[in-house]
Chains A and B, each alone.
Chain A
Amino acid sequence: MRKARRILLQALLLPALALVPLRLLAAVWNRAAFEARDLATALREAGVGEPARSEDIVIRAPEIAENGAQVPVEIQSRLVGTELIQLFVERNPQPLAASFRFLGGTEAFISTRIKMGETSELRVVVTAAGRTWFNSREVKVTIGGCGV
């Protein structure tokens, strides 16, 4: 049944994605930020200044990743007027992992999977009503082994 659901979802999602014009994707794709090789450059290119920490950005991520190749992350922003949620993984070769833009009235909640090469701070930057805020959590990545 689970498998069936996956196939159904794929069937629904793929054509939907195919309908998004490539020009539109290119317009919102911040190439310089995504290709930046260190956190400072990525933050600068993403237009993030020096935001203050906010506990209204709720991060749900594992304490220790079960698989660094796909770490499940959920972000909820309770900041009024959230327009943009950006995920930075400090120690990834390219720190900006994802960027989500919200249209007015959309619930500022995302659930996604990111790749993490090693233990790192996961920094979430939110732009809301013209201001930027951040929150962060450490996610540990380990080779594992040695179960008790």
Chain B
Amino acid sequence: MNRRDFLGVLLASGACLPEAGSAAAAGFYDLPPVANCATLFHLTDCHAQLLPLHYREPSDNLGLGTRAGQPPHLAGEALLRRYGIPSGGRLAHAFSHIDFVEAARQYGRMGGFAHLATLLNRLRDQRPGAVLVDGGDSWQGSATALWTRGADMREACLALGVEVMTGHWEFTYGADEVLEHVAALAPRLRFLAQNIRTTEFEDPVFEPFVLRSINGHLIAIIGQAYPYTPIANPRHFVPEWRFGIQSEELAKQVRSVRAAGAQAVVLLSHNGMDVDLKLASQVSGLDAILGGHTHDAVPAPVRVRNAGGETLVANGGSHGKFLGVLDMEFADVGLAQVNYRILPVFSDLLPPDPGMQALVARLRTPFLDRLREPLAISDGLLYRRGNFGGTFDQLILQALLETQDAQIAFSPGFRWGGSLLPGQTITREDLLGQMAITYPQMHVDWYTAVQLHALLEDLGDNLFNPDPYRQQGGDLVRVAGLSFTCAPRAPVGQRFSDLRLKGELLSPSRRYKTVSWAPVAEGVVGPPAWEAVEQWLVARRRVPVLRPPAPALVGVGNDPGLAVGS
């Protein structure tokens, strides 16, 4: 089913795979014709990337519990095989990490708002009346978004035609700012979140849903913000709001939009894919979940059976690298079929839209000198995504360790930030693309071996808990200086062992100097971590090839979520 679904996306419409040449490329974005259809275009987790970039998909993305070996937990060749994607081509490059550097040089950068605008215009001709929805994490992730408090992205998203959104990192600008912007964006852009209420009286903070008539069909879109924002990010930004998955509340919203006449119900979700899959099995009445957060570029959606029928669960990738198309086709009796296609956005196949290009240039002009400041040249590939580490994280950790003269460094397991090819100059913009957050304080602490172990166990459980509702959706905290053995499928408290510093087991009687950044607690004082990394890069001028940490793993066997080699 998966292979056919996916090939249906790009092959069955008569287009051949556009491995080369612009003639074939023209057909790459031709959708099969539909009749009596309501369509949503789905962008998610663009992380403020206005310009095209490289983004390496993970080579390790382990599935836990019932999700082991299941989408989205497939990497490399296992993913290509599952979806019948030919090796070595454009699609293999878009969806996998394989031969990343060579393929990135061959197929070029992906995404970018000007190229997305061109694609959307083409698709709007094929799907008149379609509505563009944004799953969130669009106001954060770049230097300019941080410096303008997301203003550049709000302007760009409006220009792109986003009409409905939900959020996550948006909340890290603070509750008051978010409410002010949401009020200013309405009614052109509606910000939805059924799962955010006040802590005190459980009053809704945002609209839970919108009802939109699309080509004569009444479609309900319910918003689901990232349920663990006050846990994964600082709670002091949103002290009076409670989040959570709130599946019972969601079921109530589904019933109320059905009662209001909705012919199809879609959840615009920032839960993360594993949470969405579990939610789809519990809550009936949703026709589709358009998901984000975990940045899973899943070639074909998963259809989940539940008490009320079937819910299509999709995840739309990240960084503007993909655009999703949800087609809801109606027959006389009502909704007949639901399909989701995820289109890779190859900037070399899509000429930039002049209007959007001019807007992006205008938004960047005031900052160009600061953005382009060269810091160093990287000899190796710098990327971030992966369960246990990435080379860009390694660079950050190394800089923190050396500049702070610490023994151990920690950095959050963020999944956002572009990849840089070997030989590329690292600019300030590139660095802030990995670090631009509103709580960047760097701080030094002294921890005992027991505390370090407890820290790893706590953070590891956010990723490795077998219940998706108890995961947070990020990768493992990045660690340098400290080596360990990890048993992801063991229970919490028993996953991390053999903690060593430079080959020596940690001593129970000593304290270790540890540097970290991005504190979630309030009141932590320290300079922004990027200042130390910048200084380190400028002093170094060249960064040698870095290797991500490869902890000894126990009990994962030949998991299709862990690609060997490459």
Which A positions have Cβ atoms within 8 angstroms of B?
A: 2, 5-6, 60, 62-67, 72, 119, 140, 142-148
The answer to whether B470 and A146 have CB atoms under 8 Å apart is no
With CB as the reference atom, state the residue of chain B lying closest to A5.
B201
Least Cβ–Cβ distance between A23 and chain B, in angstroms: 32
The answer to whether A146 and B469 have CB atoms under 8 Å apart is no
With CB as the reference atom, state the residue of chain A lying closest to B295.
A148
The answer to whether B459 and A145 have CB atoms under 8 Å apart is yes
A-B contacts, 20 of them at CB < 8 A, read A62-B242, A63-B467, A64-B231, A64-B469, A64-B470, A66-B244, A67-B235, A119-B492, A143-B455, A143-B458, A143-B520, A144-B520, A145-B459, A146-B462, A147-B168, A147-B232, A147-B472, A148-B414, A148-B415, A148-B473
Q: Given A62-B244, A66-B235, A142-B231, does the pair A147, B458 have CB atoms closer than 8 Å?
A: no
Least Cβ–Cβ distance between B48 and chain A, in angstroms: 14
With CB as the reference atom, state the residue of chain A lying closest to B518.
A145
The answer to whether A2 and B198 have CB atoms under 8 Å apart is yes
Q: Give the 8 A-B CB pairs with smallest separation, nearest first.
A: A147-B232, A147-B233, A146-B412, A63-B469, A148-B474, A144-B231, A66-B230, A146-B474
Q: Given A66-B243, A142-B462, A147-B414, does the pair A2, B232 have CB atoms closer than 8 Å?
A: no
The answer to whether A147 and B169 have CB atoms under 8 Å apart is yes
13 extra A-B contacts, CB within 8 A, seeds A62-B244, A64-B470, A140-B465: A140-B470, A144-B233, A144-B235, A145-B477, A145-B519, A147-B168, A147-B232, A147-B414, A147-B472, A148-B272, A148-B413, A148-B472, A148-B475
Would you give the 0/1 interface string for B197-231, flagging 1 where the beta carbon is closer than 8 Å to chain A?
01111010000000000000000000000101111
Given the complex, which residues of A lie within 8 Å of B245, measured CB to CB? 63
Least Cβ–Cβ distance between B487 and chain A, in angstroms: 18
Partner of A66, one of B242, B272, B413, B473: B242
Give A38 to B110 CA distance when docked, in angstroms: 57
B contacts with A, residue count (CB < 8 A): 49
The answer to whether A148 and B201 have CB atoms under 8 Å apart is no
Check: B293 CB closer than 8 A to any chain A CB.
yes
Given the complex, which residues of B lie within 8 Å of A66, measured CB to CB? 230-231, 235, 242-244
Which B positions have Cβ atoms within 8 angstroms of A?
A: 168-169, 172, 198-201, 203, 226, 228-233, 235, 240, 242-245, 248, 272, 293-295, 412-416, 455, 458-459, 461-462, 465, 467, 469-470, 472-475, 477, 492, 518-520
Give A146 to B293 CA distance when docked, in angstroms: 13
The answer to whether A6 and B200 have CB atoms under 8 Å apart is yes
Most buried by A among B231, B413, B475, B519: B231
Least Cβ–Cβ distance between A122 and chain B, in angstroms: 14
Give A145 to B226 CA distance when docked, in angstroms: 14
Least Cβ–Cβ distance between A72 and chain B, in angstroms: 7
Give A66 to B233 CA distance when docked, in angstroms: 10
Least Cβ–Cβ distance between B454 and chain A, in angstroms: 9
Partner of A148, one of B203, B416, B492: B416
The answer to whether A64 and B228 have CB atoms under 8 Å apart is yes
Partner of B414, one of A64, A67, A143, A146: A146
Given the complex, which residues of B lie within 8 Å of A72, measured CB to CB? 199, 242
Given the complex, which residues of B lie within 8 Å of A143, measured CB to CB? 455, 458-459, 520
The answer to whether A142 and B229 have CB atoms under 8 Å apart is no
Given the complex, which residues of A lie within 8 Å of B199, measured CB to CB? 72
Give A145 to B229 CA distance when docked, in angstroms: 9
Given the complex, which residues of B lie within 8 Å of A5, measured CB to CB? 200-201
With CB as the reference atom, state the residue of chain A lying closest to B169.
A147
Give A106 to B557 CA distance when docked, in angstroms: 56
Given the complex, which residues of B lie within 8 Å of A142, measured CB to CB? 231, 458, 461-462
Given the complex, which residues of A lie within 8 Å of B413, measured CB to CB? 146, 148
Least Cβ–Cβ distance between B194 and chain A, in angstroms: 16
Least Cβ–Cβ distance between B222 and chain A, in angstroms: 19
Give A85 to B412 CA distance when docked, in angstroms: 41
With CB as the reference atom, state the residue of chain B lying closest to A72.
B242
Least Cβ–Cβ distance between A139 and chain B, in angstroms: 10
Give A46 to B168 CA distance when docked, in angstroms: 43
With CB as the reference atom, state the residue of chain B lying closest to A65.
B231
The answer to whether B232 and A145 have CB atoms under 8 Å apart is yes
Given the complex, which residues of A lie within 8 Å of B455, measured CB to CB? 143
Give A66 to B245 CA distance when docked, in angstroms: 12
The answer to whether A63 and B232 have CB atoms under 8 Å apart is no
Partner of A144, one of B232, B240, B272: B232
Give A67 to B238 CA distance when docked, in angstroms: 12
The answer to whether B242 and A146 have CB atoms under 8 Å apart is no
Given the complex, which residues of A lie within 8 Å of B470, measured CB to CB? 63-64, 140
The answer to whether A63 and B201 have CB atoms under 8 Å apart is no
Least Cβ–Cβ distance between A113 and chain B, in angstroms: 9
Give A144 to B276 CA distance when docked, in angstroms: 21
Least Cβ–Cβ distance between A13 and chain B, in angstroms: 13
The answer to whether B201 and A146 have CB atoms under 8 Å apart is no
Give A101 to B371 CA distance when docked, in angstroms: 64
The answer to whether B248 and A147 have CB atoms under 8 Å apart is no
Given the complex, which residues of A lie within 8 Å of B475, measured CB to CB? 146, 148
Given the complex, which residues of A lie within 8 Å of B293, measured CB to CB? 148
The answer to whether B248 and A60 have CB atoms under 8 Å apart is yes
The answer to whether B459 and A146 have CB atoms under 8 Å apart is yes
Given the complex, which residues of B lie within 8 Å of A63, measured CB to CB? 244-245, 467, 469-470
Q: Given A63-B245, A64-B470, A66-B235, does the pair A145, B412 have CB atoms closer than 8 Å?
A: yes
With CB as the reference atom, state the residue of chain B lying closest to A119.
B492
Least Cβ–Cβ distance between B139 and chain A, in angstroms: 14
With CB as the reference atom, state the residue of chain A lying closest to B414.
A148
Given the complex, which residues of A lie within 8 Å of B477, measured CB to CB? 145-146
With CB as the reference atom, state the residue of chain B lying closest to A1.
B203
Given the complex, which residues of A lie within 8 Å of B203, measured CB to CB? 2
With CB as the reference atom, state the residue of chain B lying closest to A63.
B469
With CB as the reference atom, state the residue of chain A lying closest to B292.
A148
With CB as the reference atom, state the residue of chain B lying closest to A142.
B458
